Each structure stands twice: as C-alpha cells, then as structure tokens.
Amino acid sequence: MDAVSGISALLRARYGDAAPAAGPGNAVIEALLAHRSARAFLPRALPTGALEMLVAAAQSASTSSNMQAWSVVAVQDAARKSRLATLAANQEFIREAPLFLAWIADTSRLQRTGEAAGTRLEATDYLESFLVAAVDAALAAQNATVAAESLGLGCVYVGALRNHPLEVAEELRLPSPAVALFGLAVGYPDPARPAEVKPRLPQSVVLHREQYGTEGERAAIAAYDGELNRFSERNAMGATDWSRRMIARLGTVASLRGRDAMREWLKARGFALR
C-alpha cells in the first residue's frame, strides 16, 4: 500500500462520501488518519522504556511560554487502576489496560518555584493560568497518544476522570493547585475486539476559509448523521446519529452527570479562577 492510496482509503474511512482528495502525505499523516480509540486490551505489559518514550514525546509538545504547566501520573498498580476505574464511570478498559496515565493541569510547580524565590505568583490565580495548564496538558497527552499508536499500542482518553476530581486528587496525592483533567488508558489493542476508524464531520463545516461561515452546514451535518448512524449500526452501538447524540449529551444540566459542580471542584483543587 503506497502512502497516497493508503491515505485515500483512510480519508474515505474518516469522511465517507465527503472525503477530500488526498493531498501530500507520508507515514506520520497516515498514522494520524488511522487513529481510533482502543477500549479492549491484551493482558500484555508494555515494552521496557515505553513509558519514558511516551513522556519524552509529551514533553516535546509546544508549551505556553515554556511554562510546562502539566504533570502526568502513570498508574500501573492493579488496585489503584481499579479504584480509578470505579471513580471514572467504572469503565472496565481502565482495569484491562496495563498503563493508565492521569494528565494533570498543574500550576503547583510554578507556585513552588516562586515560593522558593520568596515570591507569590499572583497571575496563577487567574482563569487564564488554568487555561494555559489545560491546553498544555492536552497537547502533551496527544503527543503521547500519537507516539503510543506509532508503537502499535492503542489508547483511549478518559474524561470520566473528571466525575470525581477531588477523590482522584486524593488517590494520586496531587498537590494544590493541580487537577486531573482526563486519563489515558494505554495498552496493546486486542485484535479479537478491534475498533473501526470513526467518521468525522465533513471538512466543509469545520474548515472556514478567511472567515467563519455556516452556509451548507445543515445539509452537511445531515449527511454526517447518516454516516455516523451507519458506523453505529456496524459497531453494535444502536442506530444513533450525531445530532441526536449531541443533543442528548448537552441538552440538560443533568447530562453533565454532576460535572456542573466543576467550578467549585477546581476552586477546591486550588485554582482561584479569577
């Protein structure tokens, strides 16, 4: 399979009928286009040194003003993984994966750096500092994910780690201000329970040229609803289109499943959010 024909097939899997023509491509782009979340893992340990390579990839991501306002807690202990799984909507794959990474928005190290010099870092009290830490952590985690997938590993993010941030902080002995934003389960995907590339919205609705526009959006989303419906049926998730899923996911405060308390939880974790 040469790069271009591989990329064409991957674009087709990603966009269905709305696939753009393949542009310039290479192995990195192919690997990115082939991403799919893995939620079924083999009981197989990661190779020696893999964790450190994932963290090196993560630390190689850009970081706002080189602040590096994130940390990661690598959990491999089965009992701790199980307790975290319980806190994160009891998702079984967290127990199954040999490695669970908790990605932390962490301004505590910056504050300690200031304290060591006898200075209180006022700016860390502001919402902007929390956003910097959250963006840094997400970029780092995604680099680790891409690195893991390039090694033949599979990953799935775990936003449900925010269901109980205070208990998670206690389990991981996080300092303040620091909070686990999301987890990442990492392991060898079980080939007997494979995942399919999940279609995305057509580029026409996310890519705006020069200025934002919504012309043609309704029809493009309707077509995508059809794609996702077929994907869901193929993957035994029941027929549900994207629009209906999003409305169910965001339609009511109850759909936040308790996370409407996030501002208070973040404050309790030491982020003043001014």
Ligand X SMILES: Cc1cc2nc3c(=O)[nH]c(=O)nc-3n(C[C@H](O)[C@H](O)[C@H](O)COP(=O)(O)O)c2cc1C
Task: Using CB under 6 A, list all residues that contact ligand X.
Answer: 35-37, 39, 91, 156-160, 182, 198
What is the smallest separation between the CB atom of 33 and ligand X, expressed in angstroms? Answer: 10
Among residues 22 and 88, whose Cβ is nearest to ligand X? 88
33: how many CB neighbours lie within 10 A of its CB? 17
- Which residue, 158 or 220, has its beta carbon nearer to ligand X? 158
Cβ count within 10 A of residue 122: 11
* Token pair recorded at residue 160: 């449900």
Cα distance between residue 92 and residue 104, in whole Å: 22
Residue 269 CA to residue 54 CA, distance in Å, equals 27
Both tokens of 72, joined, read 């990661």
Q: Please, what is the minimum distance in Å from the beta carbon of residue 143 to ligand X?
A: 14
- Taking CB positions, which residue lies at the least distance from ligand X? 159
Task: Give dist(CA 2, CA 25) in Å, integer.
Answer: 10
Between CA 107 and CA 25 the distance in angstroms is: 38
| Of residues 37 and 229, the one with the C-beta less far from ligand X | 37
CB of residue 228 vs ligand X: minimum separation in angstroms?
10
No. of H helices and E strands in the chain? 12, 4
Residue 241, classed as helix, strand or coil, is coil
Smaller CB separation from ligand X, 100 or 157 = 157
User: Residue 88 Cβ, how far from ligand X at the closest point, in Å?
Assistant: 6
CB of 91 to ligand X, least distance (A): 6
Structure tokens at 227: 């794609």
Q: Which is nearer to ligand X, 92 or 217 (CB)?
A: 92
Identify which of residues 93 and 110 has a Cβ nearer to ligand X in the complex.
Answer: 93
Q: Name which of 201, 205, 208 is nearest 224 in CA terms.
A: 201
Query: Rounded to the nearest whole angstrom, what is the least distance from the CB of residue 159 to ligand X in the complex?
Result: 3
